[in-house]
Amino acid sequence: LTQDELKKIAAYKAVEYVESGMVLGLGTGSTARHAVDRIGELLRQGKLKNIVGVPTSKATHEQALKLGIPLSDLDSHPRLDLAIDGADEVDPALNLVKGRGGSLLREKMVEGVCKKFIVIVDESKMVAHLGGSGLALPVEVVPFCWKFTAERLQGMFEHAGCVAKLRTDNAESSELPYVTDNGNYIVDLYLERELGDLNVASDKMLRLAGVVEHGMFLEMATTLIVAGELGVCVKNK
């Protein structure tokens, strides 16, 4: 099975938890895309009714619009029944790294107010500890003096061998900064060693005035669905 087939299996399994009448948080990324497609398909077939979707990015908003999924936002729906979204890393306690797709702020806003938050991944996302994959831990920062903020973040996690890099918009040119849906930049943190207490690390980052939000989603997921070569595993918090 290809990685995308595994992502689709996990996504379709998660949509089994969607009931008619629900207000849903619609995730962002290549795994969540399959879940949004499936929700649109079930609505079209009449197997799901009266669904309202709250998208976590402009990209998901566009996708859901094309599928005819009725859309709203947090202003109208400050509480949601269920969110389904992917992740970049999942640790044994269901803590997540998200944001490699650039949507961490809206994802965290939406997924922070859901009664249930189902994370859908292929098995390659499972890690022993966050930051362990050697891939980026994204931090959304304001454009104003982003370099100052990046250097403060790098120094803050020196013990973990942290290197902070501004994410560039490779679609345009490798020079231009990537700009999020909210007009901010992303500083990616690359770690060589464990961060230690994740809550302490989270608080330290959020205390920096130039930081808007970071990609660690701690104690937010309620259910994990992992698709692997041996099948699909559902793990509740």
Site residues (CB under 6 A) for ligand DER?
27-32, 85-88, 98-101, 103-104, 107
Decide the pairing of beta strands 211-214 and 185-190.
Answer: unpaired
Q: Please identify, using beta-carbon distances, which residue of 98 and 167 lies nearer to ligand DER.
A: 98
Q: Which of 89, 107, 111, 140 is flagged as catalytic?
A: 107
Distances (CA, A) of 48 to 61, 116, 177, 234: 19, 18, 41, 22
Instruction: Classify strands 163-166 and 231-236 as parallel, antiparallel or unpaired.
Output: unpaired
Six-digit token pair at 147? 């370099």
Report the alpha-carbon distance of residue 46 to residue 192 in Å, rounded. Answer: 50
Helix-helix angle 146-156:198-207, to 10 degrees: 150
Q: Which residues pair with 190 in a beta bridge?
A: 163
The answer to whether 207 and 227 are in contact (CB under 8 A) is: no
Q: How far is the CB of 34 from ligand DER (least distance, A)?
A: 9
Round to whole Å and give the CA distance between 232 and 225: 7
User: Minimum Å distance from CB 214 to ligand DER?
Assistant: 12
Q: Smaller CB distance to ligand DER: residue 117 or 152?
A: 117
Closest of 186, 194, 178, 191 to residue 214, by C-alpha: 186
Of 152 and 224, CB closest to ligand DER: 224
Does the annotation count 151 as an active-site position? Answer: no
Nearer to ligand DER among residue 152 and residue 189 (C-beta): 189
Residues noted as catalytic: 107
